[in-house]
Amino acid sequence: MIRTLRYTFLFLLPFFLGGCDKLWVGEQPAEDPRAVFEAFWTEIEEKYSYLDYKNLNWNQVYQTYSPMIRPGMDDTELFRVLEAMMNELKDGHANLFTPFTYSTYRPLFLSRPTNFDARLILERYLLRDSLSFFTTGPIQHTVLDTLGKRIGLMTYRDFTQTPSEAQLDFVMDRMRPCDGVILDVRGNGGGLLSNARSLAGRFTDEGRKSHYHRMKTGRGPDQFSRLEAVFTEPTGDEEHRFTGPVVLLQNRGSYSATSFLALHMRALPQVRLMGDTTGGGLGIPHGATLPNGWNYRFSVGQALSAERDSSGAYWNWENGVPPHIAVDLDPVQATQGFDSMIERAMIELLNP
């Protein structure tokens, strides 16, 4: 589940909203629905980092939702208008939090196959040899004997949970003698970026550029900080790393910090990403408070791939990091006890 970041700052509401051709007359009470709406729309218009990338006309959005605001509307009515306006961003990091509910953009995950069956993975793979199965902190892992080769299987479902260095050492010590490793992060909705970086660093012996990062610095579509390179750096001692062939299994539920893991792992030459495009969420979210006390957050940064497209531009994978090999979970094979994505990963590792 995507966790929230809540920071509070004070801001003055502009008297004249550029592009809206609208002048407020008189002072608006802080909790007045109109004042809340205007403040919310303006914050997104000035600071959201993907309006241009998503080709969103935010003035047109204003014209759509502004007439829905009326004096005396109750909190639930106001929430539904603000929720619908925020969902125009189609961003899982765009959330509005109230004492009675919160908003999130659910089609981000619901529009694609789940490609994940936790019980199937546990019963048919992790517990295939119960003596080989361990749960070490948030990581479940085993070693599968397949056609005379040893394939390590690691699952990490929640980056809000942090393994200790000793726990990571234990897991990687078991992976080190293997011929290949499957790292399964399907359904991992994100959490701490440090967990993604620390895990990726266990699969490399040298730093490799994974992506670039920049922050929105002004109202204009091109107003960003300079690009800063981010690297996948080795973590842990050398004897507690695995640098052989790796397949990273991902799906649309691999979001936020897990998309960053995909970027970090994609930078490593011995790694192949497999499954569906991740859920995205590469924009760093920032939170604040509306005049009526409701909290919100949305993306104020961008991550750009170190890879370039045919025109030489860096890829913007905010909508998801693509796999090298696209594979869906076959429902027929699943009823027969086979996870087609794990099986395909094994083929990739057995036939490098």
What is the C-alpha to C-alpha distance for residues 69 and 97, in angstroms, rounded to an integer?
Answer: 19
pLDDT at residue 30, rounded to an integer: 59
Together in a domain, 195 and 279: yes
Residue 3: inside a domain: no
Q: Please name the residues in contact with 21: beta carbons below 8 A apart, sequence gap of 6 or more.
A: none
Coil/strand/helix, residue 33: helix
Residue 127: inside a domain: yes
Instruction: Tell me which residue range forms the domain holding 200.
Output: 118-284+298-350
DSSP 256-271: THHHHHHHHHHTSTTE
Together in a domain, 57 and 152: no
Query: Within a 13 Å sphere around the CA of 316, how many CA atoms are in the beta-carbon half?
Result: 12
Query: Of 225, 275, 282, nearest to 91 (Cα)?
Result: 282
CATH number at residue 32: 3.30.750.44
What is the C-alpha to C-alpha distance for residues 110 and 131, in angstroms, rounded to an integer?
Answer: 37
User: Domain end: 44, 75, 110, which one?
Assistant: 110
What is the C-alpha to C-alpha distance for residues 248 and 181, in angstroms, rounded to an integer?
Answer: 9
CATH number at residue 257: 3.90.226.10
10-residue stretch averages of pLDDT, the chain, 352 residues long: 32 28 40 94 96 96 98 96 97 96 89 93 97 98 94 98 98 98 97 97 98 94 94 98 98 97 98 97 93 97 95 94 98 97 97 82
pLDDT at residue 15, rounded to an integer: 25
Antiparallel, parallel or unpaired: β 325-326 and 271-275:
parallel
Together in a domain, 53 and 187: no
Together in a domain, 68 and 153: no
Q: How many domains does the chain have?
A: 2
pLDDT at residue 109, rounded to an integer: 77
What is the C-alpha to C-alpha distance for residues 341 and 153, in angstroms, rounded to an integer?
Answer: 12
Together in a domain, 95 and 156: no
Together in a domain, 86 and 130: no
Q: Please name the residues in contact with 245: beta carbons below 8 A apart, sequence gap of 6 or more.
A: 179, 180, 181, 270, 272, 348, 349, 352
User: Domain end: 110, 130, 162, which one?
Assistant: 110
